[in-house]
């Protein structure tokens, strides 16, 4: 169990149902205002999709919400911890222990086999995988017979499954996924989305998925729409058709 000593803890955060909170977050790059006053909370065990046109601020949003980057203004809290107040070292530690990431480019280490890739985040923190949990994660992503393979010996879908297992192995509170299905065929993409859905439903992870795909977004509990660095709308229990309709008018 991680003990947080730095940052500001909101009253009652320990038992809070909120996994991530953004309060009036801005991010500027020189004259460009990539995020312009974004406020949103993400409750534990929910699955949220983030959509918006190219350049609307989705990646910036994900980077700020996950602690990969610091906002220029406003507050981001992860599990009650104000990450803007953490040193770079503490922010890195918090990310490693409490956040999982899945990217479109799977980012596996080519020289390591699947099991070594999956357990890497634990080993970086000086811990070992609990065998029963490793078995459970590997079973969930369907890679039990591929543990000794290198990434180059796997299909794209299998590589993304390994990346998801690596994200889940630390039992993170939040998984941030940036276009994780962008390089997958529709059936493999559906499997990946089902696994993200299961992570929310079975083990209470909070999922934040950045996507351009209305079908992917329809797996989420809600869809947040970004435009020009602001949240401009939200759909609950979205259908792909409803997402598409809203998307076309952004």
C-beta of 206: minimal distance to ligand ATP in Å?
20
Q: What's the CA gap between 64 and 208, in Å, rounded?
A: 12
First and final C-alpha spacing in the chain: 43
Q: What's the CA gap between 91 and 167, in Å, rounded?
A: 17
C-beta of 200: minimal distance to ligand ATP in Å?
23
Q: Is 152 in the site for ligand ATP (CB under 6 A)?
A: no
Q: Is 55 in the site for ligand ATP (CB under 6 A)?
A: yes
Q: Which x/- pattern over 192-231 shows residues binding ligand ATP (rule: CB under 6 A)?
A: ----------------------------------------
Q: Name which position in 52, 121, 157, 172 contacts ligand ATP (CB under 6 A).
A: 52
Q: Name which position in 60, 117, 158, 206 contacts ligand ATP (CB under 6 A).
A: 60
Strands 47-51 and 222-227: parallel
Stretch that binds ligand ATP, among 37-45, 54-62, 86-94, 96-104 (CB under 6 A): 54-62
Stretch that binds ligand ATP, among 8-16, 57-65, 82-90, 150-158 (CB under 6 A): 57-65
C-beta of 83: minimal distance to ligand ATP in Å?
18
In 3D space, the residue among 227, 225, 228 whose CA is nearest the CA of residue 238 turns out to be 225
Please say whether the dihedral angle defined by the alpha carbons of residues 11, 16, 19 and 22, taken in this order, is positive or negative. Answer: negative
Q: Which x/- pattern over 9-38 shows residues binding ligand ATP (rule: CB under 6 A)?
A: --------------------x--x-x----
CB 81 within 8 A of CB 5: no
C-beta of 39: minimal distance to ligand ATP in Å?
17
C-beta of 51: minimal distance to ligand ATP in Å?
9
Q: Distance from CA of residue 107 to its chain's centroid?
A: 14
Complex with ligand ATP: residue 68 or 120, whichever CB lies closer: 68
C-beta of 126: minimal distance to ligand ATP in Å?
32
Region of 7 on the Ramachandran plot (φ > 0 left; ψ -120 to 50 alpha; else beta): left
Q: Is 72 in the site for ligand ATP (CB under 6 A)?
A: no
Q: What's the CA gap between 18 and 224, in Å, rounded?
A: 17
Q: Is 189 in the site for ligand ATP (CB under 6 A)?
A: no
Complex with ligand ATP: residue 20 or 50, whichever CB lies closer: 50
Q: Is 57 in the site for ligand ATP (CB under 6 A)?
A: yes
CB 30 within 8 A of CB 159: no
The helix (H) or strand (E) run that includes residue 21 is: strand 18-29
Q: How many CB atoms lie within 10 A of CB 19?
A: 25
Q: Is 56 in the site for ligand ATP (CB under 6 A)?
A: yes
Q: What's the CA gap between 84 and 169, in Å, rounded?
A: 26
E strand map for 18-169:
18-29, 32-43, 47-51, 73-78, 81-82, 99-103
Q: Distance from CA of residue 4 to its chain's centroid?
A: 21
Q: Which residues form the interface with ligand ATP (CB under 6 A)? A: 29, 32, 34, 52, 54-60
């Amino acid at each position: 169990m991680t003990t947080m000593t730095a940052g500001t803890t909101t009253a009652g955060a320990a038992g809070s149902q909120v996994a991530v909170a953004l309060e009036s977050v801005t991010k500027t790059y020189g004259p460009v205002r990539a995020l312009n006053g974004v406020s949103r909370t993400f409750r534990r065990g929910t699955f949220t999709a983030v959509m918006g046109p190219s350049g609307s601020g989705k990646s910036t949003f994900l980077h700020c919400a996950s602690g990969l980057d610091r906002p220029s203004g406003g507050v981001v809290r992860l599990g009650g911890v104000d990450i803007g107040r953490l040193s770079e070292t503490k922010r890195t530690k918090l990310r490693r222990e409490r956040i999982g990431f899945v990217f479109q480019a799977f980012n596996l280490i080519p020289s390591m086999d699947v099991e070594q890739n999956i357990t890497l985040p634990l080993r970086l923190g000086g811990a070992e995988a609990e065998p029963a949990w490793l078995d459970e994660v590997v079973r969930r992503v369907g890679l039990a017979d591929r543990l000794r393979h290198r990434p180059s010996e796997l299909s794209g879908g299998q590589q993304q499954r390994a990346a998801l297992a690596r994200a889940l192995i630390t039992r993170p509170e939040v998984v941030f996924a940036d276009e994780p299905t962008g390089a997958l065929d529709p059936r493999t993409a559906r499997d990946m989305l089902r696994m993200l859905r299961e992570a929310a439903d079975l083990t209470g992870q909070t999922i934040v998925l950045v996507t351009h795909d209305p079908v992917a977004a329809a797996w989420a509990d809600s869809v947040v729409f970004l435009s020009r660095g602001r949240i401009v709308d939200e759909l609950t229990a979205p259908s792909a058709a409803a997402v598409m309709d809203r998307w076309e008018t952004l």
